[in-house]
Amino acid sequence: MNYQTFKPHKDLESIVKFYWTLEVPFDPKNQKQKIVPDGYIEMTFNFSDKIKRFTSETDFILHPNAMVMGQRTKSFDILPTGNVDTFAICFYPIGFANFVKMPLKNLVDKETPISELFGQLEADILEQQMIQASDTKQRIDIIEAFFLKMLIEKNTISNIVISTVDVLLKSNGTTPINDILIDDISKRRQLERHFRKQIGISPKQLSKAIRLQATLNLLLNKKSETLTDIAYESDYFDQNHFIKDFKDLVGVTPKEYLGNEHMALSALFYK
């Protein structure tokens, strides 16, 4: 697997976390790969063979070649049908709401073709430009020009959403929502409503996804020696709480995750 990341333009760095590319030659022995929630929305362009996303053990759908994957509240399995050649944009939690008017709760746990978000003509032009680009640098130039043009009519992200997401990211999802709203707990409903529209999921769900991302980083990079250490560093009540949350989101326990051939792609993203 050849996985690379690239920084965005300074005018987009508060919206786009990074761009990434993935190239994987086809191997008939390839196994399903599990994709886990991470708190980010991604737009992807597939330049090679189709990718299956499994809806059950045997049933699947094929990813659109140009799509947006909304916030994820659960893990799912994918499997390439051939070679993989992908370019993707990873948005910060508040990032993608700057480019669409529809509530982001409509995008949760599914793949939405970009034509449904930006219109057929605009989407077709963008997709063809990305396909015909000569290299990654040119693709980044194309997508950044597209985003910067759309930011002229920038949507307003609620201050309460911005400040909450900022705290959750800085604390790796460990700060309780009620602690963030300590000055006015009555704002909880307002926060929930704005989150569903501008992030797609609830503050609690985003918090769990961000915390999972941090614990995966600890787990895969062996920055902590034991599960107890990871539970402690990630501010879980105890190891059992950590294992339960991990299994709820990933589908397996932390020990089962390590060295699992179905987790190779996920492990690559977090190392």
pLDDT in tens, 149-183: 988 555 678 888 999 999 999 999 999 888 888 76
- Identify the three-state secondary structure at position 130: helix
Do 164 and 94 have their domain in common? Answer: no
CATH number of 89's domain: 2.60.120.10
Q: How many domains does the chain have?
A: 2
Indicate if 146 and 173 belong to the same structural domain.
Answer: no
The DSSP letter of residue 79 is E
The pLDDT tens digits of the residues spanning 17-63 come to 999 999 999 998 888 999 999 999 999 999 999 999 999 999 999 99
Element (H, E) at 260: none
Do residue 70 and residue 185 come from a single domain?
no
pTM, 2 dp:
0.89
Nearest to 127 by CA among 70, 24, 46, 69: 46
CATH number, domain of 229, equals 1.10.10.60
Q: Say whether pLDDT at 112 is over 90.
A: yes
Cα→Cα distances 145→4, 38, 81, 132, 148, Å: 21, 26, 32, 16, 5
Q: Of 111, 132, 153, which residue is a domain's last?
A: 153
Domain carrying residue 51 = 2-153
User: Same domain, yes or no, for 132 and 194?
Assistant: no
- Domain boundary (107, 136, 153) is at 153
